[in-house]
């Protein structure tokens, strides 16, 4: 037996309505399925789902990072900033060969937009 494909990941969200609005309206991810307690977004690789959780303690540390691949990190960064997304820091070239910028969603999950390196800029470690 060989497992070879990650179909989707489901994350649980106490702040479900805010999380759903961020990923659906602000980030513009296409919705594959939704109801009042569940939403699944369709991306080119795997799908990302959120399920409503009625109560849970707040996240005290980063437990999940969602990486969304884009063609131009700086363009997406500027667009999302203009929509009110608060990034932790501006885009930077990373030593592992990508350019990225991250923020936390309403649930506290880290979301990173990731793309190709920007030529001529040094890499920055994290």
pLDDT tens by residue, 13-22: 999 999 999 9
Q: What are phi and psi of 35, to 5 degrees?
A: -150, -170
Alpha helices in 4-72 (DSSP H): 16-21
The pTM score is 0.86
Homologous superfamily (CATH) for 8-115: 2,3-Dihydroxybiphenyl 1,2-Dioxygenase, domain 1 (3.10.180.10)
What are φ and ψ of residue 67, in 5° steps?
-105, 120
Taking only the tens place, the pLDDT of each residue in 23-70 is: 999 999 999 999 999 999 999 889 999 999 998 887 777 788 999 999
* Residue 65: strand pairing partners: 110
Cα(53)–Cα(60) distance, rounded to whole angstroms?
A: 17
For 3, residues 6+ apart whose C-beta sits below 8 A from its C-beta are none
> Which pair of structure tokens corresponds to residue 6?
């990650």
- Residue 100 near residue 90, CB atoms below 8 Å: no
């Amino acid at each position: 037996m060989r497992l070879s494909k990650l179909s989707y990941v489901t994350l649980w969200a106490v702040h479900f309505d805010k999380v759903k609005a961020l990923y659906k309206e602000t980030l513009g991810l296409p919705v594959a399925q939704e109801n009042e307690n569940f939403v699944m977004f369709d991306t080119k690789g795997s799908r990302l789902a959120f399920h409503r959780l009625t109560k849970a303690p707040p996240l005290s540390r980063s437990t999940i990072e969602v990486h969304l691949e884009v063609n131009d990190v700086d363009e997406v960064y500027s667009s999302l900033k203009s929509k009110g997304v608060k990034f932790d820091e501006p885009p930077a070239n990373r030593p592992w060969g990508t350019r990225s910028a991250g923020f936390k969603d309403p649930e506290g999950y880290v979301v990173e937009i990731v793309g190709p390196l920007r030529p001529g800029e040094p890499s920055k470690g994290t």
